[in-house]
Amino acid sequence: MHALSKFFQPSSVAIIGATPKEGKVGRAILENFIKRFNGRIYPVNPGYDEVLGLKCYRSIKEIPETPDLGVIAIPALQVPQTLRELGEKGTKAVIIISGGFRETGTKEGEALEEELIKISREYGIRVIGPNCIGVYDNWSGVDTFFTQKMKKPPRGYVAFISQSGAFATALMDWMAYHGIGVSRAISYGNKIDVDDVDLLEYLGEDDKTRVVLMYIEGIKESRGRLFIETARRVSLKKPVVVYKAGKTSRGGRAAASHTAAMAGDYSVYRAAFKQAGLIEVDSFDEMMDFVRIFLDQPLMRGNRVYIVTDAGGVGVMLTDALTSVGFEVPVTPPELREKLRSILPPHCIVDNPIDLTGDTDDERYIRVLEVLSQREDVDAIVVVALPQVPGIKGIFVDYIAKTKEETGKPVVALTIGSEASMETAKKLQEKGVTVFESPERLAKSLKALRTYSLYISKNKPGVYSN
């Protein structure tokens, strides 16, 4: 059993600070657990005998078993004593939601945090926090995200590690709105113990997680080497997408040497990410684009992209975007031209982009996809499906998805427009075809997929040929 599994799959939880008072963090957390957690729940609060229909314990000592997980949501001053009591009880995993520690910048806060570190070491307790929103586990129902206005994403396979609690909340909300499934999300706050390295290691082993997304402000000093080693191992199993916040240099070592003046903190992070096989993103857009493409698309074995479009202009935009990130958009070879000529009306353009033109129907897409899916010299297909043309009824959606399944190659789509476009996009996405609205974002995302595929083929020979 992994050292951190008690945070994610506990059979019992003690919630210290559980309360019936509306608007309190302790109430929100208890409600979350009541709603979805299947294990035993022990609310702890000296002021109540019962909270929200559950028996409430006056102290940790009174709990009739050793809870696998402790959640602390009480004022900072009382946290050290509570942690000690959990230690006495034998609990080995504790999430400290409470703030009021090092982040306050005060001597008192710092001293309190030092005490927590001491106690956790003394009892061998693993701690997430303090000053965090903790764990959101969509499979076990562990949920300390007390931000109740947040819409909860469906069960799924994206895990998220965040140094920022507020961003974690916003992102979950966004993913819920866009129907992207989440396995587990963790916000670790001041990280006095459990950090990025531990969590990445855990999620690497987690079979409910297929893509890991990380928001990092800074790695703990002296953990850099281990971070790279862990990330390298995990990257071979699943893609890890990382966003580094705080890119500007602190400049603290500017004068020491020429190299130091150039380095800044971010350049070194950037190099480390690259060496670890991580996929770095520069913006929120990229973050979610890359996560979506990694979630749904297979590895990309080569560099040749074919475009099938019902709009010439968008085909050209795509060609530019794909070429400028390093893809090949090959000129259709003669035998393929002939083949396409034989199945398309004479006014269609059989160069790549293959332009079915504005009078196309679903049939043309289906015929062309059938031809392309049988070819060895096609590494990915981009389908432009602008729904404004009159002849499209929508059955081509199934064929696009089928092409992806049957070829085992990336098949992505582009639609631009209003409701009809959204409708097409939704249908495609439900069938695992990643849809983009912007040619440039599509190209960059496909490039990320290709880069990761290259990393895998280089470091894990035999995964796929070519």
Nearer to another protein, 171 or 228 (CB): 228
Nearer to another protein, 77 or 268 (CB): 268
**How many residues bind to another protein according to rule CB under 8 A?**
25
- 433-436 long-range contacts (CB < 8 A, ≥24 apart) are 433/296, 433/383, 433/400, 433/401, 433/404, 434/292, 434/293, 434/296, 434/297, 436/289, 436/412
Would you say 392 and 360 are in contact if contact means Cβ atoms under 8 Å apart?
yes
Phi, psi of 183 (to 5 degrees): -90, -60
Q: Around Cβ 2, how many Cβ atoms within 10 Å? A: 14
For 450, what's the count of Cα atoms within 13 Å in the CB-facing half-sphere? Answer: 18
Least separation in angstroms between CB 120 and another protein: 23
Least separation in angstroms between CB 255 and another protein: 10
DSSP code of residue 102? G
Least separation in angstroms between CB 448 and another protein: 17
Nearer to another protein, 232 or 304 (CB): 232
Q: In the range 239-298, which residues lie near another protein by CB under 8 A?
A: 253, 256-260, 262-263, 265, 267-272, 275
Least separation in angstroms between CB 269 and another protein: 8
Gap between the Cα atoms of 192 and 171, Å rounded? 24
Nearer to another protein, 143 or 195 (CB): 195
Least separation in angstroms between CB 220 and another protein: 8
Gap between the Cα atoms of 197 and 98, Å rounded? 23
Tokens of 401: 């998805």
Least separation in angstroms between CB 453 and another protein: 17
Would you say 174 and 182 are in contact if contact means Cβ atoms under 8 Å apart?
no
Query: Which residue reads 């992806």 in tokens?
Result: 404
Would you say 266 and 247 are in contact if contact means Cβ atoms under 8 Å apart?
yes
Phi, psi of 293 (to 5 degrees): -70, -35
Least separation in angstroms between CB 244 and another protein: 12
Nearer to another protein, 191 or 208 (CB): 191
- Count Cβ atoms within 10 A of the Cβ of residue 326 and give its class: 0-12 exposed, 13-18 middle, 19 or more buried: exposed
Q: Which of 61, 75, 65 is nearest to 17 (CA)?
A: 75
Beta partners for residue 158, in sequence order: 182, 211
Nearer to another protein, 166 or 271 (CB): 271
Using alpha carbons only, what angle is made at residue 142 by residues 116 and 36, rounded to the nearest 5 degrees?
150
Least separation in angstroms between CB 459 and another protein: 12
> Chain-centre distance of CA 24, in angstroms?
29
Nearer to another protein, 77 or 256 (CB): 256
Least separation in angstroms between CB 158 and another protein: 26
Nearer to another protein, 117 or 268 (CB): 268
Least separation in angstroms between CB 455 and another protein: 12
Nearer to another protein, 166 or 262 (CB): 262
Least separation in angstroms between CB 227 and another protein: 8
Q: Which of 128, 138, 296, 305 is nearest to 206 (CA)?
A: 138
Nearer to another protein, 104 or 451 (CB): 451
Q: In the range 107-146, which residues lie near another protein by CB under 8 A?
A: none
Nearer to another protein, 69 or 192 (CB): 192
DSSP code of residue 280? E
Query: Which residue reads 């003690």 in tokens?
Result: 14
Q: In the range 207-246, which residues lie near another protein by CB under 8 A?
A: 218-225, 228
Which strand (E) or helix (H) includes residue 241? strand 240-244
Q: List residues near another protein by CB under 8 A.
A: 218-225, 228, 253, 256-260, 262-263, 265, 267-272, 275
